[in-house]
Amino acid sequence: MNQIVLVGRLTKDPEVIETENNKKVSSIVLAVQRPFKNTNGLYETDFIRCALWNGIASNTAEYCHCGDVVGIKGRLQTNSYQDQDGNTKYSIEVIAERVTFLSSKKENVTIEE
């Protein structure tokens, strides 16, 4: 089963672009604080890239802004590409299936695919 649930803050305002196939997409970064302190007594934060598609992308861009807390339910997807030297590189992103707005001006709105 490939499923992930994250709660974190948006690192910038979501922007929607349209693909050549007329689909809407937004790539966001979610700052997710770890639930424990490191050896220096500080909480560390992971920055996780997420892809939002179509209605989810449009609604998130309309209602959410930098710093808002959102919950994302989705799946992990691995992508590969060639760097300038011809080496294969891999990246992982979350494909959002559901976004819940937890601290936007609208009260706890949930958007699903």
**Domain extents for the chain?**
4-112
Phi then psi for 60, rounded to 5 degrees?
Answer: -65, -40
4-112 CATH choice from 1.10.20.60, 2.40.50.140, 3.30.565.10, 3.40.50.1110: 2.40.50.140
Taking only the tens place, the pLDDT of each residue in 22-43 is 999 999 999 999 999 999 999 9
Computed over its alpha carbons, how large is the radius of gyration of the chain?
15
Taking only the tens place, the pLDDT of each residue in 95-105 is 999 999 998 55
Chain centre to alpha carbon of residue 26 = 9
